[in-house]
Amino acid sequence: MSIALIWILVGVALIISELLLTSVVAVFLGIGAIVTGLLIHWGLVDDLAMQFAIFGIVSLVSLLLARGRIKRWFTGYTADEDETKPNFQRDIGARVTVVKAFNHGAGRVVLNGVQWDAFSEDDLQVGDTAWVVANEGIQLTVQKERIQSKENNKS
């Protein structure tokens, strides 16, 4: 197996490994390895030190120039998400479904597909809809009536 083919295979493996990683760095190392392999194949590079120099330079330059643009392709998109609020505050006002009836104020609800322990002063039964009024980290406080937001009160 030629050294050029080894460089190209390593480059392809690095690019494929990016599917398992979230850093969006391996793809640029893969590009550097493929470029190095192609230059060796075309007879433009022979020296081992020059191979590693080209690999490093191409990887670094492509990383610095394109990582920010390409990383956006790998991030998810959530509509109507308020980036200024901490995560626990974003849940306030969210609609939940009761999955375990509230007994002595404690029960379980589903929020965004995840079950949460919850507290409520209201009598809530399985299947009822409730609204989040507070989030204490791992426990929600919910109520039967939807809370009015400040924007709704202005109109």
Where along the chain do its domains lie?
A: 3-74, 88-145
**pTM of the predicted protein model:** 0.47
Rounded to 5 degrees, what angle do the CA atoms 4, 54, 26 make? 80
Picking from 2, 65, 13, the residue whose alpha carbon sits closest to that of residue 37 is 2
- Give the DSSP per-residue string, the chain: --HHHHHHHHHHHHHHHTTT-SSS-HHHHHHHHHHHHHHHHTTS---HHHHHHHHHHHHHHHHHHHHHHHHHHHS---TT--TTS-HHHHTTT-EEEEEEEEETTEEEEEETTEEEEEE-SS---TT-EEEEEEE-SSEEEEESSPPPPHHHHH-
* Rg over CA atoms, the chain: 27
Question: What is the third-level CATH fold of 88-145?
Answer: OB fold (Dihydrolipoamide Acetyltransferase, E2P) (2.40.50)
Please list the pLDDT of the chain residue by residue as tens digits (155 residues): 799 999 999 999 998 888 777 677 888 999 999 999 999 999 999 999 999 999 999 999 998 998 777 766 655 555 555 555 556 677 888 899 999 999 888 999 998 888 999 999 998 999 999 999 988 877 899 998 876 654 444 44
